[in-house]
Each structure stands twice: as structure tokens, then as C-alpha cells.
Amino acid sequence: MKKLIVAQSAGFCFGVRRSVDMAEELLREHGSCASLGELIHNEDVIRTLTKRGMRVIQSPDELKAGEHVLVRAHGEAPEVYAALEKTGAEIADATCPKVRAIHRIVANAKQEGRFTVVIGMRNHPEVLAICGWCGEHAVFENAGELEKWLEDKPSPWEKPITVVVQTTQTHSNFHECCDFIKKRCTNLKISDTICLATSTRQEEAAKIASECDAMVVIGGKHSANSVHLAEICRMHCSNVQFIERTQELDLDRLKAADTVGLTAGASTPAWIIKEVRNKMSDEIKVEETTVDKEMSFDEMLEETLKTIYNGDKVTGLVVAITGTEISVDLGTKYSGFIPTSEFTDDGIKVEDAVKVGDTIEAVVVRVNDVEGTAMLSKKRLDAAKMWNDIEEAVESGAILEGVVTEENKGGIVVNVKGVRVFVPASQTDLPREAELSQLLKQTVRLKITEVNKARKRVVGSIRRVAQAERRERIENIWNEIEVGKKYKGVVKSLTSYGAFVDIGGIDGMVHVSELSWGRIHQPSEVVAVGDEIEVYVISFDKEKRKISLGYKDPDGNPWTQFTNRYQVGDVASVKIVKLMPFGAFAEVLPGVDGLIHISQIANRRIGKPEDVLTVGDVVDAKITAVDEEKHKISLSIRAMSEPAPVKADEPEEYEEEPAAEEDALVYEVSADGVASGIAPEENEEA
């Protein structure tokens, strides 16, 4: 053997290490304790602890009054805890936090009336404990069992199902079972509860085994994770030794191997790993290049025993995410967890911000040495970091972003990454009479104006940012403005002659004549204050800072519509809109009026238009003249009712009227939409 590769993930997981530490602490303080079942699947560790005063019991009935009893990392069912409490024993609960998380999942499933599928070794202590927290459930060791059970009992698949998996199972078995379930159940909740340390150990073992000529796996023969580890190694390497202790190592099988890998299950103590490694190194010459690996392995083992304290900044790996907390592997004897309330601000989903396998930084809030847990907070660490950014922002004038969380006397409070920033009402950029509550839960941009770290006081201004942004927008508008350019704006105010529209910090005026092609009397007939409208530039004066805007669509010009639709000689259905002494104005199309001269209203002489017509009447009229340049139209009702021309030898029976062409009025429409016209002199006399 020339090269030895030692897996960095080999040995105690933090759950096993924690239970052993708790047993040793009980023995130091009380001289004796009981373990309900074997503490871990390692005879050497059990033997050592037994010599120091720990006894292994199989039932709560074996406990003595007042004795300290240890619940191992595998956990127990609720009824077992009840039986322990009945004896009056002092309970030290060493249940692995990852196993406890499974208990919570299946207990919730029970409350929701869901059927629970547990994937794992049905007689394993961890699985037996999980089942105790379940409602209706079934345990399957592989996909084959699932399929057979479905044939015998198809009814459970019609229920909502929750799936959990033993923490030491292989991912391949878990995924195979899940793929089978997904095909038969639609109302499904699957929780991948395999311990990340187990996954890491298995992945690393597979990688090393594929690179080595021989593999040594250390672990108890009754340890599920150690058995799985040996199986994985055999899939990638033909020369695999599965041993429990140094004495079982067969060095002869390693002599022909150039590269040998070494890994160990979660129940294997560091001293056994060291013994095996040292024996391999002493008996067979190993290149010096492995020394660095051995040293890093020693350091890694030492690191796992490190104690952490409140206020420490720690880094860990996210191993599980639930609705209430994020579990973090800190690589120490403590299991870290971050309550969701200590992870993100309100409104941000945890699953959108972090994923299993991510590395995360947090600060230690509370350490529980009895349970071996450490409550962490990411928000508090972010807030501490943010203080430095805020102090720098005062000097640099940087713009920060936060969410308005509350309204209080005189202003609002903005949460800027965990730091409370007070913004006085005068600095909110709202009108004086406006309600501050309208800003609640809004994301705002602000500048820091005052910082007092000792008093934890920070003051900011939204107004300064808003003013600067408005000035920038205004300058951009004046630099880029041109006739015809379109803007989206908001109607700010109305007058009798038009509407003022804010197009981004600048108010432009839309004259009443530019609001509609139709006849209107007030701008309010078309727009209201607060309306968002699209306008275009008609003209502008940079020196006087004035902009004239248009609102009516140029493509909707009614005169264009009229000329496209009608020509001289056509008959149109028109609506009488105004009566004058010299005739009647009629709407041909919305926005297009024509004049029916008094002489063209009837085929007889009339005194005034209202003798025949009323405003609102709809009549047919012939278009007798069109002035394209001046947009003028002459209409005639008389032309619709004139009798056919008489024969030459038959005298006329009525007084001849002037020709329509001679009597037609050509009128003008002023810029403000008022039409006017003057009848020929002889007609006025008539």
C-alpha cells in the first residue's frame, strides 16, 4: 500500500456524539445512569460506559426510583415517555434533533388525518419510535414491499399520504420508493428526512471506493448506516473489509493494493478509527503525502468537540427546512436550528431564500447543553453587519432600501435588514394632511441622516431620495423632450380651459380642445384627477419651462374619418345639434358638423328652422359641398324631397326657389370648437 485516503466524514455524527457526551456527563455528576436500550451500535463504547457505571435496560420497569435514565439518539414513542415518567425517573433525552423533526412531521400528519408511509428498517429502534408518533401508517423497506402491499391493500392509496424516511437510509432506496408512490398517489407530501451527514458519508464513501484498490469500513454489524456504507463501497470496489475493531483488520488483503480507502459509520468513535489507521500506517509503508490528510482528519475530529457560546458567529450547512425552522449542521456536538422568524423579514418565504445544502452564517442566540441544541439567528447577524453599512451610508450618502413596519408618534419605522430606522413625518415625502398608515408594508428608499449606535437610534429621510430622483427625472425629460414624443402621466388638476398632467416630475397642460375630438364643455367630461393617461408633446418652451400636451388620438381625427367615408352627393343620417336664425347645425359624425341653411331645410319657404326641426332630431341629408382646406360641410334636406324636374311644355305650379348651390352656407369652426356662419344677404331678408 502506497497511499491511504481517510474519509473526512468518517465517525460519529453529531447525534451519536451528543448522546455519548450526555452519558459521560451523567456518569461524572451522579456516578451511574441507565440507558434505555443500547446507547449506540458499538460494543466497545457500550463496554467502556458500562464499566464507568452505565447499565443498559430494555424496559422502563427495570428502572429504580429516582434513577437517571438516558433516551438514546434513536428516540422513543410517546407511550414510552409516559412509562418512564410513571417510574419517577429523571429523564435525559438524547433524541437526535433530526429524528425529533421526523416525530413532528408524522404527528402533524396524524392530526391532519393523513396516512403515513415510513421507509426504513421496520425493526430498527429509530423506525419503531417514529411509528409511535404516527396515526394510521405502514413501514416499507424497499419498493418491492410497497408494490406487494398495494396489491393486497389498495384502499390506503386513495387517502392523502405523508412520506418520511429513516435518517440512515440510502437515497437510492428512498427515491425508488418515492417514484413508485408518486405514480399511485396525487395528494402526497414527501419529506426527505435522510440525515445530511449520512448522505455526505455515503457519497464520499462511493467516491473514495471508486478510486481505491481496497476499502476498509469500520462500524457495528447492527448499525444500519454502517451496513449501508459497506454495501455502497462493495458496489464500487471488489476488495472491501467491514470490521468493528482493529483486531479484525486483515493486512494481508491490503498489501497488493496501491491505494486504500478508510471510512467509518456514525457509531464509530474517533479512537477506533485512529487505531485502525495507525495500524495500517505502521505495518505498511505509506507515502508522506498522506500525513497532511491525517493531520486534517485529527483537526476535524477535534473540531467536532468544540463548545459554542451565546453571541458566537457560526457557519453551518442547511440540512432540513420545515414550516417553523431551518436545521443547520454546525459540525460540532450541537444541533443548530434557526426559527423562521429569525431568518427572514416578513413577507419573504424561507424556501425562496435558502435551500437544503446551502452554507449559511448565523449568530448563536441560546445554547441548550442538556438537549445539545443551539438556537441561531440570521436576522440578528445581518442586523449587526448592517450597522456598519448604515454608519458608512451617513458619510457616503448611499441610498438604502427597507420595508415600513409601523407608524408611531411623529413618523414611521422602516426595517432596513434588521435595523430599525425612524423617519419623521416631514421626511416621508407625503403631504402634511396625508395618512402615514398608507406606507405600511411598502418598500421604500431612504438616506440615513443620523446614527447613534450607543442608543440604537437611526434616523432617515425618504424625502431626500424622492427629491433627488424627481430632479433627475425632470432633467432627463428636458434633455430628451421632442414634439410628438409620448409620455404616461397622471392628471394632477383640472381647470375650465384644460387639464394639468404630471409626466414624471413636470406638469404639462392639455387644452380642452386637445382632450377630445367631440364637443365638450368641461375637461371633467373626459378625465378626472388621478387618472393615468398617455399624452404626447405638441410644443414646449425650455426657457419658460412650459409644455403643451395632446391627449386625443391623432389617428382618430373625425375629419379624416369623414372624408374616408363620405363625398359630395352622398346621403348621411345626421343629428340636429343646434338651431340658428340662418339654419341648423347637424352632426354627421362625432366631432364633424355640417350646416343646413334655412333655405335647404324644406322645399317651401319657412320663417325659422325651429318651425321644422328640433334639437336631437335625426334626419337624412345630402352632402352638397365640402371644403377640404377649411373643413366645412354644407348639407341639404330639401335636396332629398325636391320633385323631379318638369317637362319643358308644362309651366311651374310654384314659385321658383334659389338653387341649393346658391343658398348653401359655408361656415367656420373656431379653435375652441364654436361654429359660426353668415347667411347670404337676400336670405336674411327673406
Catalytic site positions: 126
Type of residue at 485: K
Residue 143 parent element (H or E)? helix 143-152
Count helices and strands (H / E) in the chain. Answer: 18, 34
Residue written as grid cell 491490503: 254
Other beta carbons less than 10 A from residue 19's beta carbon:
27
Task: Please tell me what DSSP assigns to residue 583.
Answer: E
CA angle 230/231/232 to nearest 5° reads: 90
Q: Look up residue 85 and give its three cell numbers.
A: 415518567
Closest CA to 318 of 264, 383, 362: 362
- Please give the backbone phi and psi of residue 114, each rounded to the nearest 5 degrees, phi first: -95, 150
CA distance 412 to 259: 67
Residue 584 makes CB contacts below 8 A (sequence gap 6+) with 576, 578, 595, 596, 598, 601, 609, 613
Task: Please tell me what DSSP assigns to residue 248.
Answer: G
Residue 582 parent element (H or E)? none
For 351-385, the DSSP string reads HHH--TT-EEEEEEEEEETTTTEEEEEHHHHHHHH
Strands (E), 27-126: 33-36, 54-57, 68-71, 90-93, 115-119
Answer for the pair 273, 218: CB distance below 8 angstroms, yes or no: yes
Sign, Cα dihedral of 320, 325, 328, 333: negative
Answer for the pair 205, 177: CB distance below 8 angstroms, yes or no: no
Burial class for 604, CB neighbours closer than 10 Å (0-12, 13-18, 19+)? exposed
